[in-house]
Structure 1
Amino acid sequence: MATDKDSAPEKLKLKTEVGLLGGVSLIAGVMIGSGIFMSPQYVLLYIGSPGASLLIWAASGVLAMLASLCYAELGTVIRKSGGEYIYILHTSGNLMAFIFAFTTNFVVRPTSMTAVALIFAQNVIAPFYDDCPPPNGAVKGLAALGLVVLTIVNCLNVRSSMAVTVFFTAIKVLAMVVIVIEGIVLLIQGNVSNSLIHSFEETKLSVKPIGIALYHCLWSYDGWNTLNYVTEEIKNPEVNLPRALMIAIPMVTILYLLVNVSYLVVMTPTEMISSSAVAVTWGNKVLGGWGWIMSVAAALSAFGSLNGSFFSGGRVCYVAAREGHMPDILAMAHMRRLTPSPALIFTTVISLIVLIPGDFQSIVNFFSFTAWFFYGVTFSGLLYLKIKKPELPRAITVPIIIPILVLLAAVFLVLAPIIDDPQIEYLYVTLFILSGMLLYIPFIHFKLFPGILDKLTVFLQLVLEVAPTDKNL
């Protein structure tokens, strides 16, 4: 029988195609996406002042750096792909790992990818609609096309996906450098706005504004953990994983701070808050008739980030299936191309469904709340390994104070908005996460798989030309 893993004479393995350059490009490529071109106005809106918004951006960069150091240690202790899923599986057990896989594969990852796809589409179409917002149907149609195109690219082979990642990362870094240089030139010329002189006036210091501002800022930093999803595909991971993190995240943090300063040099806080896309507004004010270039840069940036999310996000689904927490077909790879095409196709289908009612701002709040809950569980797992299993070999070891600090930050990000301003949506999210237990007990714990699933697996194996991969590394 095609699904009997013992009958296969030789299991497939995904290729190790990601070197140091690819790793840096993958992290930076996912991080520098739609956020820096969209989120600054939301951060400023919620926190109230330019000075405080810059502090939020700096604090988020530090938090991302500390969190990535924790993941660097986890990635060299547990040398498997899957990111949070595989770490939670090894530290918190099957149930919590399944809940993470269920929530991530059906909601968190698709909603994140949908939000980036929507921003890609909005920036492509925006230049054709100067005086009015683009039609919602056109935006969603182009977003769907982008999702499908990237599915094909990532299903072809790992090398083509990495080439796309490196190319788009170079473009988006170049666009940010242009913004930074122009801002520095204007500062040297003495163009300092009142918003920078009186930078901390009207700062909002209550818990909810800080929490929501951090949500939107950390959305721009999302991707710091990308490389941990593809650990098995990294060349020499014990060296290249921490090195890539140490290069990519400080570079992105510095660029983000300088880009925000450039925005504030050119625009007043009111102009930033009222802008639908702050980078495009900056381009129109500074570049004049060439302002459309920033819209193109934002679109290409989002497209490149979406490609990186495809590359890493599909691996969570793939690894969860390989561990028995998703249908077997999703743990298979194409027999010639050696890509996890069933998992990638599944992720795309769910993303297209989420795209139908998609809304950017609600997606960001939902994503951040859920993501930082599971980050907190992962940091707890690292503390468990450091205290209970210090003998495990580690290529990198971080001081125990670092996971404690990021765990406290995760607890704040999850609880602060709820305590300060309880909303029914957070209850719905919590109930959805817990609903994973209702599926785990019958289908995973008691293995009550219907026979039709085996027949469907055989059919899809033949259609997609896929076979089981090797779980033992």
Structure 2
Amino acid sequence: MTELKRVLGFKTILFLSITSIMGTGLFFGAALGASYSGNASILAWIIISLIAIYISTFFGELVAMFPKAGGVYEFSKQAYTRFISFLMGWLAWLVGNLTTAVLIVAAINYLIPDPSQIFIKIIISIALIILLNIIVYFGIEASSFVIVVLTIISMGILMSIIFPGIFLMDLTNLTPFFALGAFPILITIFFIVESFFGWESITYLSEETKNPEKIIPKALVYGTVIVGILATLIAIVSLGIIPWRFLSNSPAPLSFVFERIYGGFGTILNYGVFIALIGSAAGGIITMPRLILALARDKLFIPQLADIHPKFKTPYKAILFQTIISLIVFGMAFGKYITLLSLLLPLGLIMYILTILTVPILRYKYPEIKRTFKVPFANIGSILVALFLASLIVIWLLQEPNAFQLLSLGLSFVAIGIPIYLLLEIYYNPDAIVKVNDALAYFTLLTEKIILPKKVRKEILMLLGDIKNKIILEFGCSVGTLTLDLAEKVKPYGKIYATDLSKKDLIITKNRMKKRGHEHVIIIHDEHQVNRVHPNVPHVDAIVSIGMMGYLQDVKKVLKEMRELLPYGGKIVFVDYADFFKVIPNVAWLSKDETIEKIFRDSGFSVYVTRKKGLFWNYVYVYGIKFQQDIPYV
């Protein structure tokens, strides 16, 4: 199996950390902070910088323990339940997509301030998203080189403001310091905390980093310190050069400051800020497919997205998928910076709270695991930081109009993940199959004409041919929909062995057979049916199975066991559901007819594969015979 390639060293990871953490707050935050707390916003920058540095140590300890591509999803998987870890992965994916959208919207507004140039803005943004994803597709080395260059440009822009700006400050602009009071500082922190969002992004590159247990924790802390210093100095210089009342009304505050320092050349900065923000967006574009890869590997996302390109060693299918999603999110978010920010911030804070709390949980659960990096005062510190971040959300809800509506909208996006999780579990997780089948047994009975229409049943019986007086194995009988037809067809001396993994399904089937007087139907419960044919099943003349192929964990093993039960020329008819709800893709081996034919042929069957369209899904028919030697057709 092709794996990701470990090529990233400390310097590259440090640059990636800086650009991933560096949010729009560094470029818009001085004005945004001034609008809420005036000059006192400087305190907000200092406070959040110190807290951010401490938070980075939590991510450092976690990635040192579990250097996997899943990042926050992997940490949650170890600390919480499978369901909560999925929601964390889903939440991290939402936050990542919103962050990228915020950065691109902010970048394009800096490049083209004119609000009437909508078409040009959209075209440039789409071209940039596609270009960055193409670079990511062709390898982590090319991607990281681009990031390093963009990070150097970003830092150069900020330095070009900070160093000359210090000597041009008018300290009288900083008085009165608490013009709007002290309490608004907390609201300011809420809106500027996004400047440090991104710790999780760098953890997604763990499987492409040399010695990630040591390199990534160090890079995260150093990167956060650098961003914190730059952000605080930018705020001080901006407020020292331009009075806060004027700065707070500026849509492009750094351009305003740059013009004061360099005169008419100030507009040049717009291009620089545009490049810097695109660099930050590129950090998310590089790392997000790695999160998708981790979810897909655990079958909590489309499994095909876990494929690694054999040449470029990148999760190329996840990259293509993420490109499409990025374009969709950008299209929905275009021109809505403040709304996007208000959606992003509470969701990001919730994600960070849950991630920080995994540290004390994992210290309790796995005290024996080696930690090359440890958080100081982790137990009390995690609680205090979590409470502080939670208080920011509460204050925002109490102070900001429409905050509850925005939070509800954000949480509704998270809630969309719940039915997706259930569908994926039903489709891919054998442990969940039994629970769901038991829970939905009577629903299946009520909807059996939709799930297995009469037309499909007729086609199955036609493919089986004359089964009068034959012994038939129905592998996965569900609630007995097809069993009733088979029971009639094998009379007067035939038998049906109906097996299933759901007890409730079999209770229904048994009652239906008893009611019809079908004593020649033998019901067998097999909780391990995804891995075998029940040992109590004797030799049979034919085998029929509906909806079981996708659940089999070892297809060839089960098929070979079936082959042992059949005579030469014995028929098999398998029907499965494909393109489930026209959204969820098939189990990988059911995606191609050639793969299905080869698996059956290798197991001793000559089969024909065909696909037919249904209302909510399509049907895959696999039918043929047991052969003694390879038969070209059936």
Shorter-chain TM-score: what band?
0.7 to 0.9
Q: Cα distance, 1:12 vs. partner?
A: 0.8
TM alignment of 1:203-242, pairs within 5 A: 203=181, 205=183, 210-211=186-187, 213-242=188-217
Aligned mates of 1:268, 1:134 — CA distance in 2: 29
Alpha-carbon distance in structure 2 between the residues aligned to 1:240 and 1:353 = 35
For 1:49, the equivalent position in structure 2 comes to: 38
Q: Give 1:411 shift.
A: 2.0
Cα distance in 2 between the residues matched to 1:83 and 1:97: 11
Letter in structure 2 aligned against 1:73:
E
Q: Is 1:140 matched up with 2:122?
A: yes
Aligned Cα root-mean-square deviation (Å): 2.2
- Please list every run of 5 or more consecutive structure 1 residues that lacks an aligned counterpart in the other structure: 1-10, 127-131, 463-473
Say if 2:111 is the partner of 1:124.
Answer: yes
Structure 2 residue 159 is matched with structure 1 residue 181: no
Tell me the equivalent position of 1:5.
none
Kindly state the Cα deviation for residue 31 of structure 1 after the two structures are TM-superposed. Answer: 2.4
Q: Which residue of 2 aligns with 1:336?
A: 311
Deviations 1:405-464 (A, max 9, x none): 22222322333323455522222322332342222223215637752222888879x9xx
Question: How far apart are the structure 2 equivalents of 1:344 and 1:394?
Answer: 32
- Equivalent residues of 2:304, 2:317 under 8 A apart: yes
Residues 457 and 303 (structure 1), Cα distance of their counterparts in 2 relative to 1, 3 Å cut: farther
Question: How much does 1:368 deviate?
Answer: 1.2
**Percent pairwise identity:** 22
Work out which of the residue numbers 146, 151, 158 in structure 2 matches 1:164: 146
Look up the SS of the partner of 2:382 in the other structure. Answer: helix
Change (3 A) 1:186 1:294: same
Say if 2:174 and 2:243, in contact at 8 Å, map to a contact too.
Answer: no
Equivalent of 1:315, from 251, 273, 290? Answer: 290
Say if 1:182 and 1:262, in contact at 8 Å, map to a contact too. no
1:298 matched to 2:273? The reply is: yes
Give the structure 2 partner of residue 373 of structure 1: 350
TM (normalized to structure 2)?
A: 0.65
CA distance in 2, matches of 1:367, 1:446: 31
Q: 1:455 to 1:394 in 2, by over 3 A?
A: closer
Match of 2:339 in 1: 362
Residue 129 of structure 1 is matched in structure 2 by none
CA–CA separation in structure 2 for the residues paired with 1:216 and 1:226: 20
Aligned to 1:427: 408
Aligned to 1:15: 5
Label 1:203 to 1:168 Cα distance change in 2 as closer, same or farther (>3 A): same
| More deviation, 60-69/420-429 | 420-429
Q: Does 1:454 align with 2:432?
A: no
Q: 1:176–1:459: structure 2 CA closer, same or farther, 3 Å change rule?
A: farther
CA shift at 1:87, angstroms?
Answer: 0.7
Which shows bigger deviation, 416-425 or 283-292? Answer: 416-425
Residue 397 of structure 2 is aligned to residue 415 of structure 1? no
2:145 pairs with 1:150 = no
1:153 shift after superposition: 0.7
Letter of the structure 1 residue corresponding to residue 272 of structure 2: A
- Counterpart in 2 of 1:396? 373
Displacement, 1:33?
4.5
Deviation of 1:138 (Å): 2.1
Please show how residues 267-286 of structure 1 align to structure 2 within 5 Å.
267-286=242-261
Task: Give the structure 1 partner of residue 69 of structure 2.
Answer: 81
**AA at the equivalent of 1:150:** L
Contiguous gaps of at least 5 residues in structure 2: 434-549, 551-576, 580-584, 595-634
Matched with 2:570 is: none
User: Once the 2 structures are TM-superposed, how far is the Cα of residue 246 of structure 1 from its aligned partner?
Assistant: 2.9
Q: CA deviation at 1:303?
A: 1.4
Deviation, structure 1 residue 323: 1.3
The match for 2:419 is 438
Deviations 1:95-143 (A, max 9, x none): 01222233443x32222111111222222224xxxxx535223222211
* Greater mean deviation of Cα atoms: 232-241 or 442-451: 442-451
Preserved contact between residue 87 and residue 381 of structure 1 (Cα < 8 Å): yes
Distance 1:430 1:185, change over 3 A: same
Deviations 1:180-217 (A, max 9, x none): 11122214xxx33x3313222123616xx724x22321
Distance 1:405 1:18, change over 3 A: farther
Bigger mean CA offset, 218-227 vs 318-327: 218-227
Contact preservation (8 Å) 1:183, 1:261 = no
**8 Å CA contact retained: 2:20, 2:201:** yes
User: Secondary structure at the residue paired with 2:323?
Assistant: helix
More helix by share: 1
**Which residue matches 1:7?**
none
TM-score (norm 1): 0.87
CA shift for structure 1 position 384: 0.7
Distance 1:456 1:271, change over 3 A: farther
Q: Deviations over 1:33-84 (max 9, x none)?
A: 43311222112212x221x211111111112111110111111111212221
Select the residue among 18, 24, 27 that pairs with 1:28.
Answer: 18
C-alpha distance in structure 2 between counterparts of 1:215 and 1:17, whole Å? 37
SS in 2 for 1:239: helix
Which amino acid in the other structure matches residue 301 of structure 2? Answer: M
CA distance in 1, matches of 2:85, 2:578: 25
User: Do structure 1's residue 201 and structure 2's residue 182 form an aligned pair?
Assistant: no
Shift of 1:179: 0.7
Moved more, 397-406 or 441-450: 441-450
**Aligned partners of 1:458 and 1:286: how far apart in 2?**
64
* Counterparts of 2:207 and 2:28, CA distance in 1: 33
Cα distance between partner residues in 1 of 2:162 and 2:347: 33
Q: Which residue of 2 aligns with 1:256?
A: 231
**Aligned residue runs from structure 1 range 54-73, under 5 A:** 54-73=42-61
Residues in 2 aligned to 1:184 and 1:62: alpha-carbon distance in whole angstroms: 22
- Contact 1:12/1:333 (<8 A) preserved: yes
- Distance 1:432-1:171 versus aligned 2 partners, 3 A rule: closer
Aligned partner of residue 72 in structure 1, secondary structure: helix
